[in-house]
Amino acid sequence: MVGSQSEREDKVSLELSEEILQSMEVGSSYLVTTSDDESIRLYDVTAATCLKTTNSKEYGVDLVCFTSHPTTVIYSSKNGWDESLRLLSLHDNKYSRYFKGHHDRVVLLSLRSSKDCFISGRPAAAYDDQGLVFGVAFGNT
């Protein structure tokens, strides 16, 4: 057994609660979260440690998804004045692309299983494995 229970508990530096956690996604080796302190955190799920914290104070953070690269994410803003989606490399903290066009807060962000296409918007929707929308919901969210 590696380390005592108290040593393993010390590795986790943030308790995830509904007041803190905005969004999370589990990848093959990593977990990514966004929180109400406008940060994106990358965790190693095997070692149960936070590898990196990236702040996005200017844009805010809301929804987050991994892309086909294990440390690249796409995330939505929640600042109220720029609703662009951002493609961010957590490895070197660089934005590689902005997806503009939303005029209101994005409430849905979903990637295809191959992670080469995504869908985003105000109504709820989801992809199937072929990339076709199979569920759409409208109304107040």
DSSP 71-118: TEEEEE--SSS---EEEEETTTTEEEEEE---SS---EEEE-TTSS-E
Average the pLDDT over 6-13 and give the result.
Answer: 47
pLDDT tens track for 11-35: 544 455 555 666 767 777 888 988 8
Residue pair 33/62 in contact by the 8 Å Cβ criterion: no
Q: What is the pLDDT of residues 86-135, one digit of tens each?
A: 889 999 999 998 888 777 777 777 777 666 777 776 666 555 556 555 55
| Domain covering 17-107 in this structure, CATH number | 2.40.10.480
Could you say which DSSP state residue 59 is in?
A: T
Q: What is the pLDDT of residue 1?
A: 37
Q: Residue 75 burial (CB < 10 Å; 0-12/13-18/19+)?
A: buried
Q: What digits encode the pLDDT tens for the residues 38-83?
A: 899 999 888 888 999 999 888 888 888 888 888 889 888 887 777 7
The Cα 59–Cα 34 span in angstroms is 12
Which pLDDT value is given to residue 5? 45
pLDDT of residue 36: 86
Model confidence pTM above 0.75? no
